[in-house]
Structure 1
Amino acid sequence: MKGCLCIHGFTGAPYEVEPLVSYLQERTDWVLKTPTLPGHGETPSLKGIEFSEWIAHAENELRDLLEECSEVYIIGFSMGGLIAAYLASRYPVEKLVLLSAAAHYLNPRQMLLDVKGLLADAIRGEGAKNELFIRYRKKVMETPIAAALQFRKLVRYIRPLLEKITIPVLIVQGECDGMVPVKSAVYIYEKVRSRQKELCFMPCSKHLICHGEEFPELAEVIENFLMAQTKTSVK
């Protein structure tokens, strides 16, 4: 039996990877786990939560999956990509997929373009319908500063561990991502020591890469990677 652990991002919830999970459910008989990290969910409550709790929760889910399945993959989105990388550096995982993984964060140029679009909608009286407006307002209003600092600590803690990854890895990055810059994907690609590693850019995708117009292409790339025969990893 194969299993796949799918990890969402900072201030997010499983809905961030839900389209991909549904895609895999329709095409495989794998055991798919999509945990909600502590303090996260549809109504986040991050006050008092430390980054070690996010890692520990995902770690426990992976241990359960490894007991149940003979072959396990991990897919991580944004902050969840870094947690996925951490797990892949420590546990016998077969393959790793990193989506918009936040080894670096905030793309000022793209955020400026996004804000211009937000303002244009506001002028037309359509601000309340703008996905970015809703998302950014929610993050600013509901995310404690202490939680943002915990996110930064997690990034600093995990980045040095990327060099310990030797399993096959697929790194996917949207080129219109306003939260995570393209250089983050390049950085991860250069740091991991896997012999089999792929770097894929989605030219029209923003941060919520599983919810963009290029999702059909994204899903196909991921499916092909996970289904392909594994080559020997660096030891």
Structure 2
Amino acid sequence: MSVGCLCIHGYTGSPEEVQPLVDYLKVRTDWEMVNPTLPGHGEDLDLEGHYYQEWIATAELALMDLLKRHDTIVIIGFSMGGMIASYLAAKYNITRLVLLSAAGKYVSLPQMYKDIVEMAVDAWKGMLDSNDLFKRYQKKMRDTYWFSTLEFMKCVQFTKPYLASVTCPVLIIQGELDGMVPRSAAEFLNEELDSAEEKEVVFLKQSKHLVCHGEDRDELFDHVLSFLVGVGEGEDEQTDR
């Protein structure tokens, strides 16, 4: 059986957030990998005038397109994309679901405080330009249309109730140093996904929010491949519920 893999990036992000994992899986499988850009997102943000319904619809259309060509579908969702992925897994018979830093809850104040202190120290030393976290989020903060943050929150609130309807096996991966999505988010997802056939929770000790780019990315890649290995071999045909 053929396999299609849909990857969904996060709020204010781009496909690059999950591209390292996509590249890893491409080399080791013969799956069709789809990693779309949500409306208003990408390297050059243009969020004004875009709504969360568009973000969900874009991911769902990509999924429906994959279903035309493949018997087996797996979905990987990062941050807000993890919540959208959960919604799709509840609506369709998905074989397996991978949630990376999924934003069931957001903003870890203790870790955010540590990150701010670290940036302040680097600024005092005149080394702020070498702080990877500062460089990564500086452009996002400048380009983000703040009304869209409400759309992000609406997206999370809309998708949360669907967690209880996910029945396929789920892998939850969370960075312990994540300042955007707290550790409790993974614990929350583990509790809410009580109908899932199988669940596994992995905490990455050295990773912040962008887990596919973190210090533990090799460990993450191995966990994901191990979790997904065997899909398409004797799995039931996937159909819309």
- TM-score above 0.5: yes
Q: Deviations over 1:124-146 (max 9, x none)?
A: 21212212112332232211121
CA–CA distance in structure 2, aligned partners of residues 195 and 206 of structure 1: 28
Please name the residue that 1:33 is paired with. 34
- Secondary structure of residue in 2 paired with 1:89: helix
Q: Give the corresponding residue for 1:201.
A: 203
3-state SS of the aligned residue for 2:91? coil
Give the alignment's Cα RMSD to 1 decimal.
1.7
| Larger RCO: 1 or 2 (CA < 8 Å, sep 6+) | 2
**Counterpart in 2 of 1:132?**
133
* Structure 1 unpaired stretches of 5+: none
- The 1-side partners of 2:128 and 2:207 are apart by 21
Distance, in Å, in 2 between the alignment partners of 1:137 and 1:27 is 35
**TM-score scaled to structure 1, two decimals?**
0.96
Tell me the amino acid that sits aligned with residue 70 of structure 1. Answer: D
Aligned: 1:115 with 2:131? no
1:44 is displaced (CA, Å) by 0.8
User: 211, 215, 218: which one pairs with 2:217?
Assistant: 215
Q: CA deviation at 1:161?
A: 0.9
| Unaligned residue ranges in structure 2 (runs of 5+) | 236-241
Report the counterpart of residue 46 of structure 2 in structure 1: 45
State percent identity of aligned pairs.
49
Deviations 1:113-160 (A, max 9, x none): 111111111112121221211233223221112100000001111111
Secondary structure of 1:176's counterpart equals coil
Instruction: Supply the distance in 2 between the matched residues of 1:6 and 1:89 (Cα, whole angstroms).
Output: 16
> What does residue range 19-98 of structure 1 map to in structure 2 within 5 Å?
19-98=20-99
| Whole-Å separation in 2 of the counterparts to 1:216 and 1:132 | 20
Q: Distance in 1 between matches of 2:208 and 2:146?
A: 24
CA displacement 1:23-52 (0-9 Å, x = unmatched): 001101100000000000000100010000
SS in 2 for 1:68: coil
- Rounded Cα–Cα distance in structure 2 between residues aligned with 1:33 and 1:145: 28
Aligned to 2:178: 177
- How many residues are aligned here? 233
Instruction: Give the structure 2 partner of residue 100 of structure 1.
Output: 101
Aligned partners of 1:200, 1:220: CA distance in 2, in Å? 12
**Alignment correspondent of 2:4:** 3
Q: State the one-letter code of the partner of 1:40.
A: H
CA distance in 2, matches of 1:228, 1:114: 39
For residues 48 and 176 of structure 1, what CA distance do their matches in structure 2 show?
A: 33
Residues 139-186 of structure 1, C-alpha deviations (whole Å, 9 max, x = no match): 322111210000000111111110000100000000100000011111
- In the TM superposition, residue 195 of structure 1 has moved relative to its aligned partner by 2.5
Q: Which residue of 2 aligns with 1:12?
A: 13
